[in-house]
Amino acid sequence: MTYEPFEGEKSVRTVRLKKDEKFFKKAVKKLGFKKEIDLVTFCAAIALYKEYKYKTLEKKLLTSAKKLVGIESFDKKDLYDLVILEHLGFKENRLKEFEKYFYTGFNILKEWFEENDADANSEIERFCGIWDFITIGNYKND
């Protein structure tokens, strides 16, 4: 039995809507990610964490999407695929499922940015804020 991450899918997709795309680029820059795929995995992890920790997550379907990177550049593909396979128990359409988690996390992140980014001046400040926002549920800036 041989194993192929994400059932041999060739590429990961990301947001296409103009406003989403603008925020995507902004977030990559402001969070200091060197690669766009890092933001994708970060968003997916946000959603996976929320679901595991609080048991409530309204998943958003990535309806309008475009190709982001070839699957070969997705370094953590094994991990995310196995999380969906072994932890969530999806045997098929695992990349689609991953994209749902990404888009759900993406919207949570957007929520934080809308509320708090104007006050944040550095990458560490943003990550510490997002960390508290996700894990505790609020962002303290004073």
Partner 1 sequence: MRFIKLKLKNFKPYYDRPGEPQEIVLFDAERKDKNISLNIGPTGNGKTSISEAILWCLYGGDSYYPNWEELVNTLSIEVAKQKKENEVNISVELVLEMKGEHYRLIRSGSYNIKTGQKVEESELSVIHNGVPEDPTGFIGNHFPTLTLMKYFVFDADDILKKFEENQEGTIRDHINKFAGVEILDELINSLEKVMGLYNGDIHDIESQIHGDIADKIKEKEKDKEVKKEAIRKLKEDGQKLEKEKKNLFEVSPSPEVKKFSELVNKRDNLEKKIVELNKRFIESDIISNMDLLLLDCVVDDTMKKLNQKQTTKEEFEISTTVIKSSLEKDYSGLFFDEKENTHLIKKGARIWNEDLDDIEKLSLESGEGIKSLSINIFGNYKKQIDELNKDFKNDKKDFDGTMKELMKVRNEIKKIGDTTKNKELKDKYEKFRKFEKQIVEKKNLQEEIEEEIKEEIEKEIKELRDQLERDEGQEKEIEQIEEKKKATQILLDISKKTREEFLDDLLSYVNKTASEFLRSTVKDTHRFHSIEIDSNYKFKVKQKNGKALEERQINRGNLQISMMSFFFALSKFLGKQIPYIIDDPLLRLDPGHDKRLIEQLSKTSDQLIFHMIPGKEYTTDSFNWLKPYINIQNWLYREKYIGIELISYAECKDAEKIVEYDINKF
CA triplet 92, 93, 99: central angle to 5 degrees?
Answer: 140
Q: Contact letters (x/-) for partner 1, 39-78, by CB under 8 A?
A: --xx-xxx-xx--xx----------------------x-x
Binds partner 1 by CB under 8 A, chosen from 12, 62, 65, 85: 85
Task: Give min distance, CB of 34 to partner 1, in A.
Answer: 6
Q: Are strands 11-15 and 65-70 parallel, antiparallel or unpaired?
A: antiparallel
Identify which of residues 19 and 34 has a Cβ nearer to partner 1 in the complex: 34
Told to check if 15 binds partner 1 by CB under 8 A, we report no
Task: Quote the crossing angle between the two packed helices 18-31 and 94-116, to the nearest 10°.
Answer: 70
Residue 12 β-bridge partners:
69
92 neighbors 42 (Cβ within 8 angstroms): no
> What is the Cα–Cα distance from 50 to 52, expressed in whole angstroms?
6
For residue 15, the SS3 value is: strand
The window from 7-15, 63-71, 107-115, 122-130 that contacts partner 1 (CB under 8 A) reads 122-130
By CB under 8 A, name the binding residues for partner 1: 1-3, 25, 31-35, 38, 41-42, 44-46, 48-49, 52-53, 76, 78-79, 82-83, 85-87, 121-125, 127-128, 131, 134, 141-142
